[in-house]
Amino acid sequence: MAKRNGQCYLFANWKMYLDYDDSNILANAIAAAKKKIPATVKMAVFPSALSLYPVGQVLGDVGISVGPQNVYWVDKGGYTGEVSAVMYKAAGCEYALVGHSERRLQMRENNHDVRQKTEAILAAGLTPVLCVGETKEEREDGKADTSIEIQLRSAFHEIVWPKDRELIVAYEPVWAVGTGLTCEPQEADRIHAGIKKMISLLVPNAEPVILYGGSVKADNVKSYLTGDNTSGVLVGGASTKLESWMEIVNSLE
Ligand code: PEP
């Protein structure tokens, strides 16, 4: 199922589910299964910071990209516990997640932090995967579109987008991430159309790639990918086991 530029994006966020050994075992299993993944699938994996380098070595050999789940916006210095975008770039990363709802909620990341991180990711030569989405309360109050618009404006207003750099946004309704609840595919695609429209105003020269994320599994992935405005999916829980990941891959055929 080819989507954008003949490719369907399947991005895997391993969150903090896998320790060092688990991550390496899964990376090796994915590398071994790579020939069963259609060439039209563009895959990237976001492991923990601890496992990123060895996982990147294994997956890089089979043409699968890696990236961090978070970055710090200063390149180097007295920032205990942080890792900069520049450091991840030097470690072989191509992408970086930014603004994931678990960081916005649990680590109190705000739109200003997300903007600084987005700029640092771009400056380091990485491609940001900006996560946006409304909370349950915002959806119930009819404020989903407004909430997403605020997040997009904050991340992209007057930003200088490097030529030829992909612009990727993952729409991840907060209430659907890790909950088993899912957004109706037509509604997700409607939101994606709105995100595209917004980006055409904020970053006119970019051609956005929009992913859906939120409890994607083998039995629902295709329903999202049929949307005209949807280029792929960002998968959390179901990407952390070879079996459920390959079920997703196989269900695309
Ligand atoms: C995510 O972490 O980006 C995500 C979408 O998680 P899950 O698939 O587990 O809902």
Average pLDDT, integer, range 214-232? 97
The alpha carbon of 232 and the centre of ligand 1 are apart by a number of angstroms equal to 13
Predicted confidence (pLDDT) at residue 1 exceeds the cutoff of 80: no
Among 60, 74, 76, 70, which residue's Cα sits nearest to residue 97?
Answer: 70
Average pLDDT, integer, range 1-7? 69
The alpha carbon of 77 and the centre of ligand 1 are apart by a number of angstroms equal to 32
Q: Work out the end-to-end distance of the chain between its first and last CA atoms, rounded to an integer number of angstroms.
A: 6
Predicted confidence (pLDDT) at residue 2 exceeds the cutoff of 90: no
Active site residue 100: yes
Nearest CA to ligand 1 atom 4: 236
Catalytic hit among 138, 166, 172, 192? 172
What's the pLDDT score for residue 253? 79
The alpha carbon of 47 and the centre of ligand 1 are apart by a number of angstroms equal to 13
What's the pLDDT score for residue 42? 97
Query: Percent of the chain beyond pLDDT 70?
Result: 98
Average pLDDT, integer, range 102-119? 98
Average pLDDT value for the chain: 97
Nearest CA to ligand 1 atom 1: 236
pLDDT in tens, 157-212: 999 999 999 999 999 999 999 999 999 999 999 999 999 999 999 999 898 999 99
- pTM above the 0.95 mark? yes
Nearest CA to ligand 1 atom 2: 236
Active site residue 172: yes
Q: Which H helix or E strand runs over 156?
A: helix 144-156
Own/partner pairs for 197-206, CB < 8 Å, 24+ apart?
198/148, 198/149, 198/152, 198/153, 199/152, 199/156, 199/167, 199/169, 202/152, 202/153, 202/156, 202/157, 202/159, 203/156, 203/159, 203/161, 203/167, 205/161, 205/163, 206/161, 206/167
Predicted confidence (pLDDT) at residue 71 exceeds the cutoff of 90: yes
